[in-house]
Each structure stands twice: as structure tokens, then as C-alpha cells.
Amino acid sequence: MRFVVIGEGRPARAVLENMVEAPGASVDALVLESPASNQLTEFARQHDVPVVDVDRFSREAEQLAGTAGGWLINVNSTFIIPPGLLRLFEGRSLNFHPGLLPEYAGLHTHQWAIRNGEREFGVTVHRMEQRIDVGAIVGQLRFPIGPDDTGLSVFGRCLAAGAELFPRIIAQIVRGETLADVPQDLARRRLYRHRDALDGRIDWNDSARRIVDFIRAGNYEPFTSPTYVARLDPVAAFDIEVLRATREPGSDAHPGAVIDISAAGPLIACGDGAAVRIVRARRGRQLMVLPHWQDYLSGLRDRRLQGRSEAER
């Protein structure tokens, strides 16, 4: 069985490793949006897998699709395959989605899972159709989300799960087995868009638990978040990114009010009567410590954070 793989990173590497080792499988091309030299491209070249960019793939897709009924496998790539190219692989194209379908379609769904308070998440392999993330499900793998997980740690777990799940399905194809096509219940579908996940302002009218989850979902430390990092109101030279917080008992203070400040960080009132203690934050590359917090709060009007207003929610 012949394959064309579009992909990036660890999941694509796992699929390639599986294919080059599996009897009866071969890879006609590895398609990359930017085929710069990295571990994935080096592995492909070491195993005589041609590495091509998406423009060349678009020109040669008809030839690749017609080679012994080749399959198109999309693994951890954001490349949107044009309908004309997708039709060439009719019934023979699969996509790896780092999220559970149909409830978590679209982008950055691992961050939304944390924000939504999910205790379990996972990944999906599904048939590709012209509409994004709606094709029949051929496999899913689930894993728990812990209270200390961040956007980065859950994304890493998605990649690891994809690296485990996709090779199983490739093996089924090579063996000629029928894949488990489970239609999605699109009434349960929710599509998350990139532009809906860019605002890092904290809504202090929200519950303490949701605020803590919002903060950790945006934490990609030490890397750059693909969406947002939770931020406090800018004051003078202070542009503070919030990386970790804990929920604590609160008071009857107005949401956003600073209840107290200690070496552990500021304690801030939330909309449910509880409070959030900011225990890790930074200004630029410098972590915030008590003297920094004191300077910041001295410039904060009425010792109250505005954040994102209720009208903007």
C-alpha cells in the first residue's frame, strides 16, 4: 500500500517510522509547508522518502493519487487541502485531529478543553471531507487532564496520543482491514476558531476555578503560546503575563479587587466570592516577586483590576 503523508513533528515522524518498517507499505512523498531541514526531513531522506513542498504536491497530486490507489494521510499539519486535490484521494484520505470530535472541532481545542473544565481529552483520526473536521471517525484515543496541566502539557499529550493512534490505523490499512467509520453527530459539533482565542485579558467576574483554568490554558512556558497568555491590566512599565494561579477562599470584595499581597503573590477577588492567588507571573523575562508586585499595585487605581468587562464576555 502506498501513502502520501502531509505532516509535521512527532506524530508525522511516528507515522513515517511505522510505514517504512511495515511490510507492504511505502511512502511516495512527505509533504511539508516549509521543507526546512529538521529531524523529520532528515529521517525521510535517510529512508529515501521524497520531501516536497505543498506547491509541488499540488502539481503532482494526480500522479501520486493514482499510484496503486494511494492514501493521503494528514498528520499534525494545518495545510488546508483544496477540494480538487481531496477528490483525487476519494475514500482514501485521513486526518489527525488533536481533539475529540465532534465536540472539539477547529483550532487550539486542547486549550479550550482546559478552559471548559474538562477532565478528559483526546485525539481523533477521521475521514477527510471538504468541510473541516466533519468526516467519519475511524479512531480515537483519550487521556486525562490533571489540575496542574497547562496548554503546553496537554498539547504534548495530544501529539503523543496521535503518535500512538495513527500507526495502529495505518497497520489496519496495510493489512486490508475495514476501518471503523463512525459518523459524527454534528448536532454536538462545536467549532473553535483562532480569532476567538486571542484575548488574554482575565474576566474577574468569572468564577475562580474558570479563571485558574483560563490562566493555565494559555501557559506554554518556556515556549510561545499559539494564542494568548493571560495578562493583567497594564500599569506604567508593567505588562504582566500570568502563568499560574490557585483558587483560595475569598471575601465580599468586588471582582478584581486586590484583597492582599504577600510573598506568594497577590490575592484577587473573583465573581463567585472565591479568590485567585497569582503564584507565577512575569514581566518580560523577569519573574514577579513581592517588590515588583508592590510597585505594580501602587499604580493600580483603587487596587482593583478591570480585566475583560462583563459586556465583552
For 262-276, the pLDDT digits (tens) are: 999 999 999 999 999
- The mean pLDDT of the chain is 91
Q: Pairing state of beta strands 137-144 and 51-53?
A: unpaired
Beta bridge partners of 124: 97, 140
What class is the 2-192 domain? alpha beta
What's the pLDDT score for residue 311? Answer: 43
Instruction: Tell me whether domains 2-192 and 198-312 share a fold.
Output: no
pTM of the model: 0.92
**Largest pairwise CA distance in the chain:** 71
Q: Where are the alpha helices (DSSP H) in 117-207?
A: 151-174
What's the pLDDT score for residue 69? Answer: 63
For residues 255 and 296, give the distance between their C-alpha atoms in angstroms, rounded to a whole number. 18
For residues 212 and 245, give the distance between their C-alpha atoms in angstroms, rounded to a whole number. 6
Res 210 pLDDT > 90: yes
Q: What is the mean pLDDT of residues 5-13?
A: 85
For residue 33, what are the contacts with CB-CB under 8 A and spacing of at least 6? Answer: 8, 53, 54, 77, 78, 79
C-beta of residue 167 within 8 angstroms of C-beta of residue 96: no
* Domain limits, the chain: 2-192, 198-312
Report the share of the chain in percent with pLDDT over 70.
96
Q: What is the DSSP letter of 90?
A: T
CA distances from 41 to 6, 78, 156 (A): 12, 17, 20
C-beta of residue 280 within 8 angstroms of C-beta of residue 173: no
C-beta of residue 1 within 8 angstroms of C-beta of residue 24: yes
For residues 277 and 294, give the distance between their C-alpha atoms in angstroms, rounded to a whole number. 15
Tell which phi-psi region holds residue 59, choosing left (phi > 0), alpha (psi between -120 and 50) or beta: alpha
For 101-130, the pLDDT digits (tens) are: 999 999 999 999 999 999 999 999 999 998
In CATH, which of 1.20.58.740, 3.10.25.10, 3.40.50.2300, 3.90.1150.10 is domain 198-312? Answer: 3.10.25.10
Q: Where are the alpha helices (DSSP H) in 69-150?
A: 83-88, 109-115
